Amino acid sequence: MSSPDSLALSSPLLRPERGGSTRVRVGRFELVLEAVRGGHSLLWGDGREARRFALGLGDIGQLSLQLEPPAWPCRVVVRETLVLAPGARVRGYVQLPLVPVVVGHRANGQDLRLLELANADLGGEWDERFGTTFRVASSWHVRFPMPTGEARATVPLTLFNDAAEMFAPADLPVQLLRQDLFVRRSSIVAAPRRLRWSGQSWNGTPRRRAEVNG
Amino acid sequence: MKRANRRMWSVLTAAAVLTFTAACDNGDKTEQAEIAAELRALRATLQSASTPAPRQTAPDRAALVQALAPLQEALQALANDQRQLAARQIGLTQELQRWTQLVASQATSGTQAELQALTKRLQGLEEAMTAQQAQHAEAEAMVRKALDHTADQLETFLLRLEGASPPIDGDAPGKETPAQPGKEQPGKESAGDATGNAPAAGAAATGGDGAPKRGATGAWLALLLAAFATAGWLWWRRPSPSTRRRLLVDESVGMDEGVEQIWAAAELLGEAVGRLRTPEQVIEPSPARAADESIAVADALGLDDRVFEDTVVEEFVPPAAAPGPAAQSPAETLPGPVASSPAPGQHGVVGPESALFVVPLPFGDQTRAVRALQDVISRDPRVLRRPAPEVVVSAGRAAVRCCLLPTLPPGERSHLEQRLRDAVA
């Protein structure tokens, strides 16, 4: 039985007949696609602000709204204070905002990313050492969080402190790829991650550099 | 007081002497007058001596009071302590009474059944413990009895072995002992008769019945010595405890199957006993166990093993160009498109995509316009929050310098600029 707050990685956004409209709601995001004279109009709102896009779809048959992980690595700042004793571990869940993307499906099977709707919960940062990252605030859930309908991915994390000193991480490096996301328990869940603190840096990343570059 | 009495006695004595002399000497009146004058003088002296006496006691009382003042303070402190102790005792007595009432009320309420059940349970456990102790004692007695029986059997076996061996003791037949007068030695009669005082030499020389018996004794003695020597050599060559197990494993190839099973069972039993004897230790998380936990999480979420293996964490080597900070550097291990396209001289990371928007400010309150610009630019997700955007006002225009997300389409960039313009319009 599907919950009204259940999330899907991809929601179909049917092309309306001329003069008609279709509506899709994912969490607080809402999209209204209207077929107007000479094209389509897409109205997007996240509850705080709204934007209107004018689309020329051409031979694109269908549209879909896909929830994709942030394009850049995330530094998850946990609202609670995590403290790990030497050799200790802690397991929990964090939640990362997902980015709604409007994808057009062509008749030949090709998919086109039409629009990437920015998520205000993702704050981009840049510095000389780490490059571009998203700073994300999340609670440390000790149990699997209940689905709220928000476009967020639940990431199971297991943190290890391999160092000989106490460790209170300032943030947690997490990067998600699209193939890491799955729909479980009416939520979007990422594959479990393990992060090891060696005393100076986090050892272990969800992905190898080559995979990210590829 | 003593001094006053002494003075009074001396005055009375003097008066008596004067009276006596006066009585004895009926002289003229002048003498009587002198005596009377002296008596008056003595009376005056007595009066003067009796009046300062109370004056002298007053300083003594004050000194006594002063000397007793510390004692008085101590007594007062002691009395205070006594009063406090009495108050505490009263409080404790009242508290004890309250606790007693509380326990009594609880015992009388619904917990009485639980208490009875717990008491019964405790009695049952004690009985079980007693029974176990009896069983242990019985087992120990049985083991001790078996050991005694085994020792007896071994002793019997050894005695039997000694009995089967050639006689080497003094009572054995053919034993050549020095002649004992008055004791009959049947096996020695003929030899003694033949050789007189040298039976052994005679026996050896004659080669009679004593020669084969002595040869058998020597053979048994040699055999016994050889057995002892073999045992000693084996004891000396015995393996150390550390190598016993290895030797056991090596030698188990040629062992009987039953012996192997017995040794394996003994080994398992030893391990179990050792595990029971060793105190419980904190099991440190091992990587394998951690992996199992993560797999368990994946299983609980319905993610199959293939999914987890696909995202297994691998050791990541930080970029060589990035300096190793002493503090936490979480994003150092973050791979990303920016880090993968290094620019020379910037630790392998290219700079952000900066943008400069020049927004004409309207006439009037420019402060409000600048605040509106800052509000828009701080909330727009396309603008990086670090480096912090800057708004510089000059000549009626605001220059907004900020960094944008990489790979931002030109339409989004233009849209952002237009938002800024609309904010101050």
Inter-chain touch A179–B310, beta carbons under 8 Å: yes
Give the whole-angstrom CA distance, residue A62 versus residue A106.
Answer: 7
From residue B40, alpha-carbon distances to B12, B35, B37, B252, B383 in Å are 13, 8, 5, 138, 130
Q: Check if the beta carbon of residue A54 is closer than 8 Å to that of residue A114.
A: no
Give the closest of A124, A129, A202 to B384, CB-based: A124
Specify the 3-state DSSP secondary structure of A55.
strand
The residue of A42, A127, A132, A200 whose CB has the most chain B CBs within 10 angstroms, and thus the best one to mutate to test that interface, is: A132
Residue B18 has pLDDT above 80, yes or no: no
Kindly give, in sequence order, each residue whose CB lies less than 8 Å from that of residue B380, ignoring residues fewer than 6 positions away: A118, B416, B419
* From A204-208, B376-380, B394-398, the region with the lowest mean pLDDT: A204-208
- In sequence order, what are the residues at sequence separation of 6 or more whose Cβ sits closer than 8 angstroms to the Cβ of residue B53? B1, B4
Which SS3 state, helix, strand or coil, does residue A56 take? coil
Residue-wise pLDDT for B319-366, tens only, equals 333 333 333 333 333 444 333 333 333 444 567 778 889 888 887 778
- The C-alpha atoms of residue B288 and residue B307 are separated, in whole angstroms, by 18
Tell whether B408 is within 8 A of chain A (Cβ): no
Check whether B186 has a pLDDT greater than 60: no
Backbone phi, then psi, for A92, in 5-degree steps?
A: -170, -165
Q: How far apart are CA A167 and CA A82, in angstroms?
A: 8
Q: ipTM of this predicted complex?
A: 0.78
Shortest Cα–Cα distance, A196 to chain B (Å): 9
Does B382 touch chain A if contact means CB atoms closer than 8 Å? yes
- Distance, in Å, from the CA atom of A62 to the CA atom of A140, rounded to the nearest integer, reads 38
**Interface membership of B317 toward A (CB under 8 Å):** no
Residue B197 pLDDT class (50, 70, 90 cuts): very low
Q: Which of B286, B309, B316, B377 to mutate to test the interface with A (most CBs of A within 10 A)?
A: B316
On the question of pLDDT at B67 being above 90, the answer is no
Does the beta-carbon distance from A173 to B330 stay under 8 Å? yes
**For A202, which of B330, B380, B403 is closest by C-beta distance?**
B330
Per the CB < 8 A criterion, the answer to whether A205 and A173 are in contact is yes
Q: Does A53 touch chain B (CB under 8 A)?
A: no
Q: Which among A154, A99, A151, A102 has a CA at the least distance from the CA of A124?
A: A99
- Residues B416, B377: Cα–Cα separation, whole Å: 9
3-state secondary structure A164-182: CCCECCCCEEECCCHHHEE
Q: Where along chain A do its domains lie?
A: 10-211
Average pLDDT, chain A: 86
> What is the rounded average pLDDT of the residues B109-135?
82
**Single pTM value for the model:** 0.47
